[in-house]
Amino acid sequence: MMELRDLYQEIIIDHNRNPRNHRIMANANYQAQGYNPLCGDQLTVYLNINEGVVQDISFVGCGCAISQASASLMTEALCGKTVAEAHDLFTKFHHMTTSDEEAVACLSLDKLVALAGVRAFPARVKCATLAWHTLECALKKEHVTVSTE
């Protein structure tokens, strides 16, 4: 159990130091900004979605290691996925960070499981889920714009 925890720690440190897909996307067709005032984390998530598939996803931002690593892990997990799969992962991830250990085992979240430890720290849950809430917001925004035009 301790070894697993160390591995998770390593994934978070690695993604915080070398965030994946950390760039502004010029041709994004979905984007949103997220802010976690409790910790001061800020993120902008960019997506390029074509025919319901995430062709490209990136983020920029600043904040604590958990928030940045979570955003980095999220972009890695979602590239090439469909929008439906993205929503599904959001639900699973949210469940993982707020529910008990037994439920987590069957979620198959790959490296995202590294963030399961935040469950024990309610304030940190907001850091870990910020990227995902921003993603959901980005996906909704385009929809709202489309429906009002």
Residue count of the chain = 149
SS3 content of the chain, % helix, strand, coil (to 5): 60, 20, 20
> Closest distance between Zn ion and the C-beta of residue 51, in Å?
35
Q: Check residue 107 for interaction with Zn ion (CB under 5 A).
A: no
Neighbour-count burial for 22-56, b at 16+ CB within 10 Å, e otherwise: eeebeebebbbebebeebebbbbbbbbbeeeebeb
**DSSP state, 82?**
B
Helix (H, G, I), strand (E, B) or coil at 28: coil
> Closest distance between Zn ion and the C-beta of residue 22, in Å?
16
Q: Which stretch binds Zn ion (CB under 5 A): 14-22, 59-67, 75-83, 91-99?
A: 59-67
Amino acid 18 reads N
Alpha-carbon span 73 to 44, nearest angstrom: 15
Q: Which one of residues 15, 31, 41, 73 is an interface residue with Zn ion (CB under 5 A)?
A: 41
Q: Which stretch binds Zn ion (CB under 5 A): 63-71, 98-106, 110-118, 139-147?
A: 63-71
Q: Which stretch binds Zn ion (CB under 5 A): 8-16, 35-43, 45-53, 71-79?
A: 35-43
Q: Mask of contacts with Zn ion, 122-141, x by CB under 5 A?
A: -----x--------------
- Residues in the site for Zn ion, rule: CB under 5 A? 39, 41, 64, 67, 127
